Homo-oligomer: A and B are copies of this chain.
Amino acid sequence: MDVILHPRSEEPLYKQLYRQILSQIASGDLSPGEMLPSIRTAARYLNVAVITVKTAYEELEKEGYITAVPAKGCFVSVNAPALVDRSKMDVDKAYETFLDVCKKSGLSDEEIVTLVTEKIRREEC
């Protein structure tokens, strides 16, 4: 399992795991149909609680990237790559919309970057 968690990070463990798995699906490192490490195996390997892995997997399942089968395992969805592509497009589209509104409100490029940075920073605190 090619995942590294940083326990002291601001980012919750389950989110770190979620992102890294998603990234591996996006890169093709994890193929559709492939079985993920079981929740217990992953938890043991990563030295975290079962619920931490469970939460990460749950989030991935809720978004359709993986499918959990009780007593069987968790598997990368066959349509995961399509979802990844779509999400990329969604990000682009959402960005375009956001940029449009900003420009219409008379915000400069610099102000937009500042705005996003500030909002993210405030959200993190």
The residues of A with any CB-CB pair to B shorter than 8 Å are 11, 15, 18-19, 22-23, 63, 86-88, 90-91, 93-95, 97-102, 104-109, 112-113, 115-117, 119-120, 123-124
- In contact, B86 and A105 (Cβ under 8 angstroms): yes
- Cβ of A116: which chain B residues have Cβ within 8 Å of it? 95, 112-113, 116
Task: Select A94's contact among B86, B102, B124, beta carbons within 8 Å.
Answer: B102
Contact A91 B113 (CB under 8 A): no
Q: Identify the closest chain B residue to A110 (Cβ).
A: B120
Chain B residue contacts of A120, Cβ below 8 A: 109, 112-113
A67 to B4, CA, bound (A): 49
Contact: A109 with B124, CB < 8 Å? yes
- Cβ contact of A98, chosen from B22, B86, B94, B104, cutoff 8 A: B94
| A101 nearest CB neighbor, chain B only | B94
A98 to B112, CA, bound (A): 13
A22, A23, A105: most-surrounded residue (chain B CB, <10 A): A105
Do the beta carbons of A91 and B87 come within 8 Å of each other? no
Asked whether A117 lies within 8 Å of B113 as measured between CB atoms, the reply is: yes
